[in-house]
Amino acid sequence: MNPLVQIIAIILLAKVLGELVERFGFPSLIGEVAAGIVLGPAILNLVSPNEFIEFFADIGIIVLLFMSGAQLNMKTFAKSEKAGLVTGLAGVAFPSAFGVAAGYLVGLDLYECIFLGIALAVTSIGISVRTLVDLRQLKSDIGMIIVAAAVVDDVIGVILLGILTTLASGIGGFGTIALTLVIIAVFFILILTLGKKIILWSFESSRSARTHEMPYSVAILIALGTAVIAQEAGLHYAIGAFLAGLILGDSIRSDRLLYDSLADFAFGFFTAVFFASIGLYFSFSSDSPSIPFIILLVVVAFAGKIAGGYIGSIWFLRDRARSLIVGLGLSPRGEISLVVSKVALASGLISATLFSSVTVMVIISIFLTPILMSRGFNRLHSRDGPPA
Amino acid sequence: MNPLVQIIAIILLAKVLGELVERFGFPSLIGEVAAGIVLGPAILNLVSPNEFIEFFADIGIIVLLFMSGAQLNMKTFAKSEKAGLVTGLAGVAFPSAFGVAAGYLVGLDLYECIFLGIALAVTSIGISVRTLVDLRQLKSDIGMIIVAAAVVDDVIGVILLGILTTLASGIGGFGTIALTLVIIAVFFILILTLGKKIILWSFESSRSARTHEMPYSVAILIALGTAVIAQEAGLHYAIGAFLAGLILGDSIRSDRLLYDSLADFAFGFFTAVFFASIGLYFSFSSDSPSIPFIILLVVVAFAGKIAGGYIGSIWFLRDRARSLIVGLGLSPRGEISLVVSKVALASGLISATLFSSVTVMVIISIFLTPILMSRGFNRLHSRDGPPA
């Protein structure tokens, strides 16, 4: 199929299923992921993952995180910094430990146990943020802790991926990992000092341009540019775009027309491709993994993040129900777990069955989290009254 | 270079040069084309044409024509139908005849003369429309005749391309060309009857959706979908999107927020890639063509369209100055002349020198037309007073 027809089919089905799911009271991202599963190799096999779709999906996750950053006030968000750090660390430690233990329990070898620990460690920041956006909870105290923890989580994920690559290839070692850490630190420092000045200056300059779409173009260019820089520093695209969104948030929110137009650009076009592309990568493999093992993985995945999220945030939120939702919000796994699994499979660290089991766990966590979070917030609101 | 970095570089330089050109009082598309020449093989060689850029450029021309259609009122535009038909026909006949004559004059062989006639025949609808948009003249009587004539022109161009392919390959013949004509007729009839109903129904349905970006997504999907159907029918992408825009125009214009957001999507992101991509395809070839011959070509290209546009529209506009501007507006050549030249070169119909000469003529017409039109409208306004 011609790539343009593929993109049309993906966005069309994603929007239709997203709308359907939303009418049943659940976040629309579930329908978008389902669209990918339906069109992809798993069911109809009309669209296979390809570089055009990946390119659109990359832009989708970038603008999603950019617009999520832009919805937040930087100073308010900075207050969640400490809570996010503690929650992020606990939210990685628990599922990793649980993963290693589960592997040991079912008799996997040492490398496979370490792999499971790493594959379970990292939250999908895209799914978490999108669920919060769909539920209109991004700006709540719970939402901001989840986002801050997911950012921390991603940084730890990069380090863990470095460890895995070292294990898998023998190349690298702890010198390389230390260097990775230094580069990440430099990235954060530069973007929050010099980068911030450049970003604000370019955006403000764009307002005096003659061509009336200029601030729109410049905002998108900043999102894409910072994403590329983050990736060069070894981080996920999304982290750079999120920071740029935070930096530009006040300026963009003060111009309602611009804000709406950028939100349309993100949610009305590109992000649907990102979520559908997750579904495209899913296939019902012939090495069918055992169902009890998958159930064990899903339980461990949720129990680990819920325990970590709860323990990390309870001191800050001082409310059990809210801290449980933080844990839930960190539970979806996504791109990074899939990348980790691919690296491990390709280097022979793990079996094809273990690989398939992890991908099934990822899909289940993607469908289950938004449903559970939507229920969690409903209960919270029926307890405390509707949100402000 | 990573494709995302290429897209960033293209849009950034296109917007900067576009702004610069606009500050000097000329349409910004000139700067966007220049950005492609600067970044591409002709000068810096940082970006070469590739499938990602082509994909974005295709979406760019589609949304440009869609939004141009949406700016017009269908009933008012339909009044330009007859004038457009006559002007389109005359606007093809004159430059073709002049092209054949010029070829004969400098001693080209028969096939090369026919090639020149075809390569000079077709207006670049993208450049014409964008110039009118930049000059805010799309909705004027002059603008609507130019657009209507450019649509007619494109249909004739498809037929001429069929003739050229028949000449080049010996396959096809007049049976195939008749079939092409029937398919085009069926396309126009279907899209203006059944297609119109489906388009209006889907857009109206999208308004009652829960997800607030739905009308935006549906409008873009309709633009892309009709473009693909037009291409399947053998026409340029742009014709389908333009008709869809005309059909949806009233609905989109009545929702100012949606209209602005779609205009941003088109002019703030994708169309810049389209115009820059034209510049990317340009290279200063080693088979340097003779300058007098290029001057002859440019003169013939402009004289042909100005004569045809003038004679075709004078009966309707009854104003010499206005009819001259119609002719000028039809003068830019673009994608189709380049495609025709590539087909002819690949099949050995023409020499590499003739090929290079035509591409230089195309670039000159792209830079010269907006400058001349801007002057033309300025004179008109200083004669008649400012436009309504």
- Domain limits for position A102: 58-268+290-384
Instruction: Provide the residue count of chain A.
Output: 388
Give the residue, B26 or A10, on which the prediction is more confident: A10
Question: Is it the case that residue A217 has pLDDT exceeding 90?
Answer: yes
CB-CB under 8 Å, B15 with A211: yes
Do the domain assignments include residue B41? Answer: no
Instruction: Count how many Cα atoms sit within 13 Å of the Cα of residue A142 in the half-sphere of its side chain.
Output: 28
- Using CB atoms, pick whichever of A18, A59, A228 lies closest to residue B5: A228
Average pLDDT over residues A108-114: 90
Cβ–Cβ contacts within 10 Å for residue B372, how many?
Answer: 18
CB-CB under 8 Å, B58 with A11: no
Do the domain assignments include residue B279? Answer: no
Distance from CA of B222 to the nearest CA of A (A): 9
Confidence of residue B18 (pLDDT cuts 50, 70, 90): very high
In the block, residue with structure tokens 């539920």 = A135
Question: Is it the case that residue A286 has pLDDT exceeding 60?
Answer: no
Cβ–Cβ contacts within 10 Å for residue B362, how many?
Answer: 26
Query: pLDDT tens-digit profile of A257-284?
Result: 999 999 999 999 999 999 999 888 877 6
Query: Residue A215: CB partners within 8 Å, gap ≥ 6?
Result: A203, A206, A207, A209, A255, A258
d(CA A137, CA A74): 16
pLDDT of residue A156: 86
Element (DSSP H or E) covering residue A310: helix A291-317
Do the domain assignments include residue B16? Answer: no
d(CA B227, CA B209): 25
At residue B233, φ and ψ (nearest 5 deg) are -80, 0
pLDDT of residue B172: 58
Query: pLDDT tens-digit profile of B48-93?
Result: 889 999 999 999 999 998 998 898 888 888 888 899 999 999 999 9
Instruction: Spell A353-380 as b/e; 16+ CB within 10 A means b.
Output: ebbbbbbbbbbbbbbbbbbbbbebbeeb
d(CA A144, CA A246): 12
Question: Is it the case that residue A387 has pLDDT exceeding 70?
Answer: no
Do the domain assignments include residue B227? Answer: yes
Of A199-203, A374-378, B138-142, B349-353, the least confident: B349-353
pLDDT of residue B158: 76
Whole-model pTM?
Answer: 0.90
Query: Residue A54: CB partners within 8 Å, gap ≥ 6?
Result: A277
The domain total for chain A is 1
Query: Residue A268: CB partners within 8 Å, gap ≥ 6?
Result: B213, B214, B216, B217, B220
- Using CB atoms, pick whichever of A4, A51, A211 lies closest to residue B28: A211
Confirm if B252 and B70 have CB atoms less than 8 A apart.
yes
> Mean pLDDT, chain B, as a whole number?
90
Question: Is it the case that residue B259 has pLDDT exceeding 60?
Answer: yes
Give the residue, B269 or A356, on which the prediction is more confident: B269
pLDDT of residue A226: 96
d(CA B272, CA B332): 18
pLDDT of residue B335: 78
The answer to whether A11 faces chain B, any CB pair under 8 Å, is yes
Average pLDDT over residues B109-126: 91
- In this structure, what CATH number is given to the domain that contains residue A134? 1.20.1530.20
Do the domain assignments include residue A370? Answer: yes
The answer to whether A268 faces chain B, any CB pair under 8 Å, is yes
The answer to whether A214 faces chain B, any CB pair under 8 Å, is yes
DSSP state of B24: T
d(CA B303, CA B298): 8
Confidence of residue B388 (pLDDT cuts 50, 70, 90): low
Nearest chain B alpha carbon to A8:
B221
Alpha helix positions (H), B254-317? 256-265, 271-280, 291-317
The answer to whether B263 faces chain A, any CB pair under 8 Å, is yes
Confirm if B243 and B69 have CB atoms less than 8 A apart.
yes
The answer to whether B58 faces chain A, any CB pair under 8 Å, is yes
Q: Report chain B residues whose CB lies below 8 A from the CB of A6.
A: none
In the block, residue with structure tokens 């950019």 = A66
The answer to whether B205 faces chain A, any CB pair under 8 Å, is no
> Mean pLDDT, chain A, as a whole number?
90
Confirm if B217 and A11 have CB atoms less than 8 A apart.
yes
pLDDT of residue B245: 94
Confirm if A237 and B189 have CB atoms less than 8 A apart.
no
Query: pLDDT tens-digit profile of B177-200?
Result: 788 888 888 999 999 999 999 999
Question: Is it the case that residue A190 has pLDDT exceeding 60?
Answer: yes
pLDDT of residue A164: 74
Provide ipTM, 2 decimals: 0.89
pLDDT of residue B286: 57
Q: Report chain A residues whose CB lies below 8 A from the CB of B261.
A: 260-261, 264-265
- Using CB atoms, pick whichever of A15, A213, A221 lies closest to residue B214: A15
Average pLDDT over residues B155-176: 72
Do the domain assignments include residue B50? Answer: no
CB-CB under 8 Å, A12 with B210: no
Give the residue, B290 or A35, on which the prediction is more confident: A35
CB-CB under 8 Å, A217 with B15: yes
Do the domain assignments include residue B6? Answer: no
Do the domain assignments include residue A38? Answer: no
A354: tokens are 């273990």
Question: Is it the case that residue B370 has pLDDT exceeding 90?
Answer: yes
Nearest chain B alpha carbon to A221:
B8
- DSSP count for chain A of H helices, then E strands: 18, 0
